[in-house]
């Protein structure tokens, strides 16, 4: 469930953390433990596993050796005390919020969110007694404290927002949260720990859709929750459920009931998710998908570095294009977040960018229908370059007023840069712009101009 800290640097950890070949028949690549359950060594072993006095595997719904490699590796990369892998990014978000506001409460959230998160906050959680306040001062942390209420359980933000690539002052927001006894939750999906490590900036909980950049190949659905191990769940007074004592956590010697804070002081949050929510709601990640995610992590630095390079080149190209109204990418000097990017994102700004298409709806749709190399679909973080009209797809759940409030105009087009040659990508965009404008210039001449 947890990972020991070592002196190894990031690029060593992404290949080696959480796995020791000699413990797995000296297999160089982590094996896929495709099994539902595990034999007990004997009756004593079974008793010890169930009373938590011995580590081991019981049932793949709550733990699996392949999944554990993924958990420990990502925890090491993020500097977390522990991690738990789940069947999707949305499962990671939902289990996090339920674990925080169990029994009712409020979450103060950034308005700059992935559309699925935003829609679920409106439609699902209020039915469970969890309400959301969209912060008016998320860009002004010095005023954010005014929006924290007595029953606020956490502040929830994205490190790089989807689709507008907003960069918030995480350090300042974390200070506000901690001054008021609540944790900061950061969705770090777009950045990944290669670009940004939220725990180093004060985050207490980090969530991922591992479907995206962590895996990077568009071939699995997965999520993760990480914890810093530093938040005082007992001292804040807002989380009495963490102090609840359970018979299932009883002391094997005295039979006294114990709480998660007593049994797992370094990682009570993720363990509570594992033994309560994962155990009984069951959003388990399968071992084969965990294996794919582990393999994807091995190339994380190279992928995110190349994607950042490609995205920056595409942003520069779009920024000078007559058919583009504006471009949003933190590495651009014109970005309002450029200074924060320079301060906090030493390895690049990532592969996500957005631009405003200058033209009619018909021309915009012709442009999207004309791309040949870019893939038109809703994922991000893939090895392939992806393009989509977010206001009508990924953020189509938002009303006209809601999109206006978070500056998602109808002409916004989102690109997730992949690993192709950037000259080919720009050439493809150029021929699509020309087709949309009705000039009819084919793909090959545009490719030649871009390559030249």
For 391-406, the DSSP string reads: GGTTTTTS-HHHHHHT
pLDDT confidence of residue 446: 42
Q: In 3D, which of 325, 327, 417, 435 has the Cα closest to residue 374?
A: 417
The third-level CATH classification (topology) of the domain covering 300-451 is: 3.90.1150
pLDDT confidence of residue 168: 98
Where are the domains positioned within the chain?
A: 10-297, 300-451
Edge-to-edge strand ranges of the sheet holding 223-227: 82-86, 223-227, 205-209, 184-187, 152-158, 105-109, 130-134
3-state secondary structure of 191: coil
CA distance 224 to 210: 7
Mean pLDDT on 202-213 = 98
CATH 3.40.50.10420 fits 10-297, yes or no: no
DSSP single-letter state for residue 133: E
| Cβ atoms within 10 Å, residue 116 | 17
Confidence of residue 236 (pLDDT cuts 50, 70, 90): confident
Strands 375-376 and 352-357: unpaired
pLDDT at 452 over 70: no
pLDDT digits (tens, 9 = 90+) for 43-71: 999 999 999 999 999 999 999 999 999 99
Give the pair of three-digit tokens for residue 443: 């793909």
pLDDT digits (tens, 9 = 90+) for 289-308: 999 999 999 999 999 999 99
Confidence of residue 161 (pLDDT cuts 50, 70, 90): very high
- The CA-based diameter of the chain, rounded to the nearest angstrom, is 82
């Amino acid at each position: 469930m947890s990972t020991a800290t070592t002196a190894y640097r990031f690029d060593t950890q992404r290949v080696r953390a959480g796995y020791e070949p000699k413990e797995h028949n000296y297999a160089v690549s982590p094996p896929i433990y495709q099994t539902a359950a595990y034999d007990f060594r004997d009756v004593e072993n079974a008793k010890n596993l169930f009373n938590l006095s011995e580590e081991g595997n019981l049932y793949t719904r709550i733990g699996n050796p392949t999944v554990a490699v993924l958990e420990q590796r990502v925890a090491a990369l993020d500097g977390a005390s522990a991690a738990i892998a789940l069947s999707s990014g949305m499962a990671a978000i939902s289990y996090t919020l339920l674990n925080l506001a169990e029994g009712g409460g409020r979450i103060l959230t950034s308005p700059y969110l992935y559309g699925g998160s935003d829609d679920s906050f409106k439609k699902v959680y209020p039915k469970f007694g969890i309400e959301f306040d969209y912060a008016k001062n998320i860009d002004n942390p010095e005023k954010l404290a005014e929006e924290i209420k007595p029953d606020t359980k956490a502040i929830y933000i994205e490190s790089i927002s989807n689709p507008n690539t907003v960069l918030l002052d995480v350090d300042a927001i974390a200070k506000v949260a901690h001054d008021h006894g609540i944790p900061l939750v950061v969705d770090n999906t777009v950045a990944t720990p290669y670009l940004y490590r939220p725990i180093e900036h004060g985050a207490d909980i980090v969530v991922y859709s591992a479907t995206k950049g962590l895996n990077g190949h568009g071939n699995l659905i997965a999520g993760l929750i990480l914890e810093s191990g530093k938040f005082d769940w007992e001292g804040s007074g807002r989380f009495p459920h963490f102090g609840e004592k359970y018979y299932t956590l009883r002391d094997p010697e005295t039979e006294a009931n114990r709480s998660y804070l007593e049994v797992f002081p370094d990682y009570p949050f993720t363990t509570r998710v594992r033994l309560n929510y994962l155990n009984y709601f069951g959003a388990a990640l399968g071992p084969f998908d965990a294996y794919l995610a582990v393999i994807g992590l091995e190339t994380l630095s190279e992928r995110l570095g190349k994607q950042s390079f490609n995205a920056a080149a595409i942003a520069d190209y779009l920024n000078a294009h007559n058919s583009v109204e504006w471009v949003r990418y933190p590495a651009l000097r014109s970005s309002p977040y450029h200074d924060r990017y320079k301060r906090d994102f030493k390895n690049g700004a990532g592969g996500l960018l957005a631009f405003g298409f200058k033209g009619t709806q018909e021309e915009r749709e012709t442009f999207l229908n004309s791309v040949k190399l870019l893939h038109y679909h809703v994922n991000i973080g893939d090895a392939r370059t992806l393009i989509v009209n977010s206001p009508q797809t990924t953020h189509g759940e938002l009303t006209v007023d809601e999109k206006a409030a978070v500056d998602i105009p109808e002409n916004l087009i989102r690109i997730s840069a992949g690993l192709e040659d950037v000259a080919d990508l720009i050439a493809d965009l150029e021929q699509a712009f020309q087709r949309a404008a009705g000039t009819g210039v084919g793909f090959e001449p545009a490719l030649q101009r871009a390559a030249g």
